[in-house]
Chains A and B, each alone.
Chain A
Amino acid sequence: MAEPLVVLDGVNKYFGDLHVLKDINLTVAPGEVVVVIGPSGSGKSTLCRAINRLETIESGTITIDGEELPQEGKALARLRSDVGMVFQAFNLFAHKTILQNVTLGPMKVRGVKKAGAQQRAKELLERVGVAHQAAKYPAQLSGGQQQRVAIARSLAMDPKIMLFDEPTSALDPEMINEVLDVMVELAESGMTMIVVTHEMGFARKAAHRVVFMADGEIVETAEPEEFFTNPQSERAKDFLGKILTH
């Protein structure tokens, strides 16, 4: 097996007295797509955010491409630029156009010239299917379009890995697939991805592994088909029972 891209080793995280991540160990190989699933409050978002150090951790180590996450400052910013993050609420820069949203990072972080950044941004917007909206502002786009722009914005940094925190759960049902299609295409292109989602269709189609979390712990890890048809733990069975009946 190739060198792992992400390694979480004995990670613990508390919010005050609340133990949110309990001794998490997780290794993600290059090109691997991992879906994280679990009940509300089980720590999925916190896990994602810790990998980007939007949350600090109390103990354990997180290593990305052989380099431990720096505490602060320039080194942290540089590492973050290699880790794409797609949020549930899109978080596009509200005062910038779609094109500027995508060119900002390459220009300010990577020092790419404007013309080059715009060229690349247009290609990426084309790839996610919103090229014709480039001159608009985020509020003028639908949720599905905004989320696809957010994916393009992350891709513009040429990240080594992309994190998705429930990217479709703020979307109207008819827009979910347009975002999932982009994510499936991304997975097929070999991008390393950690995706928090309850979309089983996506997990079945694109994921190599499903990680089931409950109460801050990784309870079970399995291949998607195996996990959905034959869960081992009681909690996974219980959880799947609940989401399948909906």
Chain B
Amino acid sequence: MRELFEQFDVWAAFWMTIKLSLWSALWALVLGTLLAIMRVGPVRILNVVGSAYVNVVRNTPLTLVVLFSLTVLGTRLGIQIADQNSPTFLTDEAVRWAIFGLSVYHAAFVCEALRSGVNTVPVGQAEAARSIGLGFGQSLRHIVLPQAFRGAVAPLASVAIALIKNTTVATIIGVAQTSYFMAEAIEFRPDLIWELFALIALFFLAITLPIGVGLTSLSRKVAVKR
């Protein structure tokens, strides 16, 4: 096991996986919330756009989304999302497009998790909110979404865990995270293959397990009593 750490920068790979996970989770949550609002709102055209987004993205392989992000949006269309003057420009570009692809993809699942949360909120809650004079936005913000988020914690936990594991797809555009390190190690140190797989499985377990357990107990704690 020690040899792996000596020969490869394992910590950097792990750290990159964590970075990808955190940033993608954040953006996916933001974009997914917007999509959920579009889907449950009263504006027909936004309903259509929101559901089209979810259905297209959910039925596209993640590999394709990530690859498309860097090669088509980044390279072909020349959209730059990293600092061009940075010495690590090319790596940064790949990392950011990976985050972009992961966010865009998981936003669809966040949207559906939130929508299932919204469905736990009885219509009477929104009607009561409107009847005291709250506008559409206010009743979303103060009444419907807070309850929807509580009802969505458990499904959101599944999305978070899937997202963390899915960051391994970033290998396809050369982002040096855990699965990239794994591929290298398999090639150069096939003798350490048992240790390697054990290490990586442990690493993922070490982050996903607490998240699963933590969020499940949180979802029980914040559950809205009716």
Chain A residues engaging chain B, CB cutoff 8 angstroms:
52, 54, 73-74, 77-78, 80-85, 87, 89, 91-95, 104-105, 108-109, 137, 139-140, 150, 153-154, 157
Contact = CB atoms under 8 A, between A and B. Distances in A.
A93 B138 CA distance: 13
Main secondary structure of the interface of B (DSSP, over half): helix
Contact of A93 (B133, B135, B143): B143
B130 A109 contact: no
B129 A109 contact: no
Nearest to A102: B132
Contacts of B225: 94, 137, 139-140
Interface string B5-31: 000000000000000000000000000
Interface residues of B, number: 21
Given A94-B225, A95-B146, A95-B224, A54 B133 contact: no
Contacts of B147: 94-95
B220 to A, nearest CB: 15
A107 to B, nearest CB: 10
B128 A77 contact: no
A137 B223 CA distance: 12
Contact of A157 (B124, B132, B146, B224): B132
B132 to A, nearest CB: 4
Nearest to A89: B124
Contacts of A157: 132-133
A96 B134 CA distance: 15
A202 to B, nearest CB: 22
B130 A77 contact: yes
B132 A80 contact: yes
A221 to B, nearest CB: 26
Interface string B95-130: 000000000000000000000000000101101111
Contacts of B60: none
In the A-B complex, the 7 residue pairs with the smallest Cβ-Cβ separation, listed nearest first, are A81-B133, A139-B225, A105-B132, A91-B128, A91-B124, A85-B131, A109-B133
B150 interface: yes
A104 B226 contact: no
